[in-house]
Amino acid sequence: MTDMTTTLLRGASWAVVWDGSAKRHVYARDVDVLLSGGRVAAIAPASEAPPPHGARAIDARQMLVMPGLVNVHTHPTSEPSYRGIREDHGVPEQQMSGLFERSQAFRLDREGNEAAMRLAYAELMGAGVTAVVDLSSPFEGWMDVMRQSGLRVWVGPGFASARWGMSAPQSVEWRWDEARGRAGFQRAQAVMDEAESDASGLLRGIVYPAQIDTVEEGLLRDAAALAAEKGRPFTTHIAQAVVEVREMVRRHGTTPIQWAASLGLLSPRAILGHAIFIDEHPSIGWHTARDLGLMAEHGVAVAHCPSPFARYGEHLKNFGRYRSRGVRMAMGTDVAPHNIIEEMRLAILLARNAGRDLHAADTAMVFHAATVGGADALGRSDLGRLQVGAAADVTLVDLAHPQMAPPRDPLRSLVFHAADRAVRHVFVAGKQVLADGKPTMLDVSEAAGILAQSQAKMLRDSGLNDYAGRGGDQIAPLSLPLS
Please check whether residues 53 and 187 belong to one and the same domain: no
Please check whether residues 12 and 112 belong to one and the same domain: no
Please check whether residues 10 and 149 belong to one and the same domain: no
Residue 387 covered by a domain: no
Q: What does the pLDDT read at residue 26? A: 98
Q: Is the predicted pLDDT of residue 1 greater than 50, yes or no? A: no
Q: Is the predicted pLDDT of residue 320 greater than 50, yes or no? A: yes
Q: Which domain does 12 fall in, by range?
A: 3-67+392-439
Q: What does the pLDDT read at residue 362? A: 98
Query: Does an H or E element contain 141, and which?
Result: none
Strand arrangement, sheet containing 301-304: 234-238, 270-274, 301-304, 328-331
Q: How confident is the model at residue 4 (pLDDT cuts 50, 70, 90)?
A: low
Provide the 3-class DSSP secondary structure of residue 196.
Answer: helix
Q: Are 403 and 417 in contact (CB under 8 A)?
A: yes
Residue 194 covered by a domain: yes
Q: Is the predicted pLDDT of residue 17 greater than 60, yes or no? A: yes
Provide the 3-class DSSP secondary structure of residue 164.
Answer: strand
Please check whether residues 21 and 149 belong to one and the same domain: no
State pLDDT tens for residues 239-296: 999 999 999 999 999 999 999 999 999 999 999 999 999 999 999 989 999 999 999 9
Q: Is the pTM of this model over 0.85?
A: yes
State pLDDT tens for residues 36-81: 999 999 999 999 888 888 899 999 999 999 999 999 999 999 999 9
How far is 237 from 480, CA to CA, in rounded Å? Answer: 34
For residues 239, 243, 244, 245, the Cα torsion angle rounded to the nearest 10 degrees is 60
Q: Is the predicted pLDDT of residue 317 greater than 70, yes or no? A: yes
What is the number of structural domains in the chain?
A: 2
Q: Taking all residues of the chain, what is their mean pLDDT, rounded to a whole number?
A: 97
Please check whether residues 225 and 142 belong to one and the same domain: yes
Q: Is the predicted pLDDT of residue 3 greater than 80, yes or no? A: no
Q: What does the pLDDT read at residue 380? A: 98
Please check whether residues 74 and 56 belong to one and the same domain: no
Q: How confident is the model at residue 392 (pLDDT cuts 50, 70, 90)?
A: very high
Strand 423-428 relative to strand 431-435, pairing? antiparallel
How far is 30 from 12, CA to CA, in rounded Å? Answer: 5
Residue 386 covered by a domain: no
State pLDDT tens for residues 168-209: 999 999 999 999 999 999 999 999 999 999 999 999 999 999
Please check whether residues 221 and 280 belong to one and the same domain: yes
